[in-house]
Homo-oligomer: A and B are copies of this chain.
């Protein structure tokens, strides 16, 4: 007998009846606001072609490393989940992979993945029973059938989700063909790009040399000269801005910045290009690139996002067999105070610059990030990110940053996802958790209800729009 899938209207609100009533009332005022998604990893080609999404595994399981990392941690081989290796696509039947997942769905108890998925299952697909081994086939069939209908095409969902703007993320070497096709298509959905230059900025990226060559090719610049290298960035940033980009994004291992002279930078570039460089050289190169990106933002106005702190591809065997982005990135302690200083010394008080900083190291929230954002005009705090994009994680973010940085040095929510169907659920979780936090402040007489309502709307809608210049 299948168990009912219930999405309680008060989910994520505090249990105390008085606080819950306040949270519910705040949430009423933000629930239906349009979605601003200024940072994410959906595929612009979906919106360019508007093709159907395929099946449940291809859409929901295989691309979501939150899901398969948990299953892998419990001994399920990636191939059994439809995740292909470098050498070959996973041989398993999608239905079989889905069953593997469904029969272990209880592993996700208490995780945000379960919250998001249940909302996708219930609200997007209209499923009314819980996922488990017994309902695996029902799920697989229902989802598969729905995906073949026009209502589940990417553009139809985009409208249904009330997305006002959706930013994707591309490499400088991307031709932006999908974005250009969207613009040519006449479809009014606002899908924009974000400039993410890591492949041509990180000498330790496995595609660095190739990417650099394509970078040179696309821009016609001599990227062996520091001036040419910077000019290539300028040209690509302009091309990205033409397809709507308002921001850049930088996913470095640390937040290190530098302020080298042009001569030093040229010498460093030469060393990097020679291939004979140390880890410290690579770090310095990335550090200098961040400062150059900030400098360029003064001219082109792109908002800068710094996402540091992941030790990428920690699992050597999985990296060798399956490549990057396979759930094996692990956060590490991240310094901001010394790391950002060279950049801030040069540009930290310039009103033309806006930098949004994220962290995977929650100990930095109250110690470094809130104090920095509560002082420097150029700095804002990105929301609780990645492993911390969760009810407890968001609560900690507000509890630890608000008293020093306030609400207005933060920028609302980023879903940061490639799981398109979960976007409404993710924003819904963020809105609920922020309303729960605000409700507590009201209940403790630290805010008036009127102030909390205004703040809730700002967090859900106005702040991201303003911070990302949308």
Contact = CB atoms under 8 A, between A and B. Distances in A.
Interface of A: 3, 6, 8, 10-19, 69-70, 72-75, 106-112, 115, 311, 314-318, 327-333, 335, 337-338, 341, 344-345, 348-349, 351, 360-363, 366-368, 370-377, 379, 387-388, 390-393, 399-400, 402-409, 440-441, 443-448, 450-451, 454-455
A331 to B, nearest CB: 5
Contacts of A370: 387
A455 B361 CA distance: 28
Given A14-B444, A315-B344, 12 more contacts: A3-B448, A11-B445, A12-B446, A15-B444, A315-B348, A317-B349, A327-B375, A330-B372, A331-B371, A332-B338, A332-B368, A392-B403
Contacts of A393: 366, 403
A248 to B, nearest CB: 21
Contact of A375 (B19, B69, B112, B409): B69
B377 A73 contact: yes
A441 B17 CA distance: 15
A13 B444 contact: yes
B441 A15 contact: no
Which of A16, A19, A393, A406 has the most CB atoms of chain B within a 10 A radius of its CB? A406
Contact of A407 (B8, B110, B387): B110
A441 B440 CA distance: 17
Given A13-B444, A72-B377, A106-B451, A391 B408 contact: no
B392 A399 contact: yes
Contacts of A406: 70, 107-111
Contact of A446 (B344, B391, B402): B391
A65 to B, nearest CB: 9
Contact of A109 (B11, B337, B455): B455
Contacts of A447: 109-110
B16 A15 contact: yes
A343 B406 CA distance: 39
A11 B73 contact: no
Nearest to A17: B18
A172 to B, nearest CB: 29
Contact of A335 (B17, B317, B333, B374): B333
Nearest first, the 3 A-B pairs at minimum CB distance are: A11-B445, A8-B445, A15-B443
Contacts of A10: 445
B371 A387 contact: yes
Residue in A75, A375, A447 whose Cβ sees the most chain B Cβ within 10 Å: A375
A309 to B, nearest CB: 8
A318 B374 contact: no
A368 B335 contact: no
Given A362-B367, A367-B331, A72 B314 contact: no
